[in-house]
Amino acid sequence: MEQVISNAEERMGKTLATLEEEYSMIRAGRANPKLLNKLTVNYYGTPSSIQQVANISVPEARIIMIQPWERSLIKDIEKAILASDIGITPSNDGNVIRLVFPELTKERRQELSKDIRKKAEEAKVAVRNIRRDANDQLKKMEKASEITEDDHKDGETRIQKATDKYIKQIDEVTEKKTEEIMTV
């Protein structure tokens, strides 16, 4: 029974971590180097993340500066940025690439806010599915006489508390990200 509960809690925690990771990729009109985390460039035949082949800095609130270790990578990094869903056209001066983030319009902020809420709802559904699976496992264990009826009820109560805890955390993270998006 303890294994079922700890497994469910671990899966709920991973769901929350995945949601936070997705939120870090959503740009809020401010330069965030995490936007480049998923981008890779071909470096001597090996797909490498931009962080591995360049120095990334944020000199101003709305600018990311990428300085490749080798000048020959500038074109490859620009191609990777243009092919991504970041939606920003890079500019370079031969030595560094600059990504200038425009201010978000009110409509775009509302659109991002809806997207954030949608991702939160998907995470909540995932947490509830984990709860259902764990409760089903407890039910099977009770039918197989591996645990008592009282243990089953106790397990369901503990799983429900974990579910409530993670749904509350999802709400908090979502509220924080929505606030960040809507702040001008």
Specify the CATH number for the domain of residue 147.
Answer: 1.10.132.20
pLDDT score recorded for residue 49: 86
Model pTM? 0.69
Note whether 37 and 21 are same-domain residues.
no
Structural domain total, the chain: 2
54 beta partners: 68
Note whether 88 and 138 are same-domain residues.
no
Amino acid (one-letter) located at 117: R
Q: Which of 57, 77, 100 is the last residue of a domain?
A: 100
Judge contact between 16 and 166, C-beta under 8 A.
yes
Specify the CATH number for the domain of residue 48.
Answer: 3.30.1360.40
Note whether 71 and 123 are same-domain residues.
no
Note whether 115 and 129 are same-domain residues.
yes
Note whether 75 and 115 are same-domain residues.
no
What is the C-alpha separation between 179 and 142, in angstroms, rounded? 45
Note whether 46 and 78 are same-domain residues.
yes
Note whether 17 and 59 are same-domain residues.
no
Domain around 65:
33-100
Note whether 129 and 89 are same-domain residues.
no
Note whether 95 and 59 are same-domain residues.
yes
Note whether 59 and 124 are same-domain residues.
no
Q: Which of 51, 77, 100 is the last residue of a domain?
A: 100
What is the C-alpha separation between 83 and 104, in angstroms, rounded? 21
Note whether 80 and 171 are same-domain residues.
no
pLDDT tens, per residue, the chain with 184 residues = 889 999 999 999 999 999 988 887 776 666 777 777 778 888 888 888 888 888 888 888 778 898 988 888 888 888 888 887 777 788 888 888 888 877 778 888 888 888 899 999 999 999 999 999 999 999 999 999 898 889 999 999 999 999 999 999 999 999 998 888 887 5
